[in-house]
Amino acid sequence: MYMDSLTYTFSNAPEEENKMDKTLQREINLAKNIQTSLLNGKTPPVEGGEVKGSSVPARLIGGDYFDFYPLVNGNLRIVIGDVMGKGIPAAMLMILTRGAFRSAAESTQSPGDTLTAMNQALFEDLRTLKSFVTLFCADWNPQTSVLTYANAGHNPPLLIRGLGNTVQELPKVKGIMVGGLPNQVYNEKTIKLEEQDTVFFYTDGIVEAQNKAGEQYKLERLSQTLLKNKDSAVGEIEKSVMDSVLHFTEGMPQKDDITMVLLKISEKKADITSLNSPVIW
């Protein structure tokens, strides 16, 4: 039977599509490994507390971000963020955000200055892409146990008082998301942390996780879980939150990235670790 070029192309289409699928899968896996390596980057030891971060993407790769940056004055700068969207586009913007944070953290004096510099650096690109990033940035001073922070449209972290029996949001400080408006100046607030206090930074993938009935996990359930486990080490608190979310969702597919950072004050030397799990729940 006669086969012209069109027929030949058509007959080989499944083979070519299979090659493209394999190539795309390899590139996605490479992107996942790059993102995992960045989130599992080297973290510095600090005195007077424990800090731990983890992220579980809703897909193979995600758009949530957390980072630690040691400052020359001995403070530790912490950031957590959520890029609008999911998957590969969000992951690309996450890497862009990481670069902007690292650059700004090195050249700015405070969390508010860092967010201001990041907005200046990212605004045009984010406006072009019609996207934005919510960020919460905080400096922890291990000598004074003072936490200084600024917010760019992100969820306020939760403060669990170790010597009390309360969970509350950090006092709010207003700030628009990065990429929202140009020439923004981000204000700051401070709070004194006491021994055994824990600050829980998180993204909305936790509180917006849904069960089979379409109900959300919500802030109240998260607060109860944190309060119940407040005397545990940061790794155990992190695990208890993930276990609680998984129990609540009853096996439903994860719809959004889940990311958290915990800072717990103690007299012992801290063990800073970071964990990123590519497992899709």
> Could you give the CA distance from residue 61 to residue 257 in angstroms, rounded to a whole number?
9
What is the pLDDT averaged over residues 91-103?
89
Predicted pLDDT at 23: 75
What is the pLDDT averaged over residues 183-205?
96
95 pLDDT tier (thresholds 50, 70, 90): confident
Q: Where are the alpha helices (DSSP H) in 12-86?
A: 13-39
278 pLDDT tier (thresholds 50, 70, 90): very low
Could you tell me if 75 and 141 are in contact, meaning their C-beta atoms sit under 8 angstroms apart?
yes
Strands, sheet with 158-160, edge to edge from the N-terminal-most edge strand? 167-169, 158-160, 198-202, 258-265, 49-56, 273-276
Lowest mean pLDDT among 54-68, 125-139, 140-154, 193-207: 54-68
Predicted pLDDT at 148: 98
**For tokens 């994860």, what's the residue?**
254
Residue 241 host element (H or E)? helix 234-249
pLDDT at 11 over 70: no
pLDDT at 24 over 80: no
The domain ranges of the chain are 25-268
> Could you give the CA distance from residue 247 to residue 125 in angstroms, rounded to a whole number?
39
Residue 89, classed as helix, strand or coil, is helix
49: phi then psi, degrees, rounded to nearest 5: 175, 180
Q: Which CATH code, of 3.60.40.10, 3.40.50.970, 3.40.50.150, 3.40.50.2000, is assigned to 25-268?
A: 3.60.40.10
Report if pTM > 0.95.
no
Predicted pLDDT at 123: 96
> Could you give the CA distance from residue 78 to residue 76 in angstroms, rounded to a whole number?
6
Share of the chain above pLDDT 70, in %: 80
Dihedral of the CA atoms 154, 159, 160, 164 (nearest 10)? -150
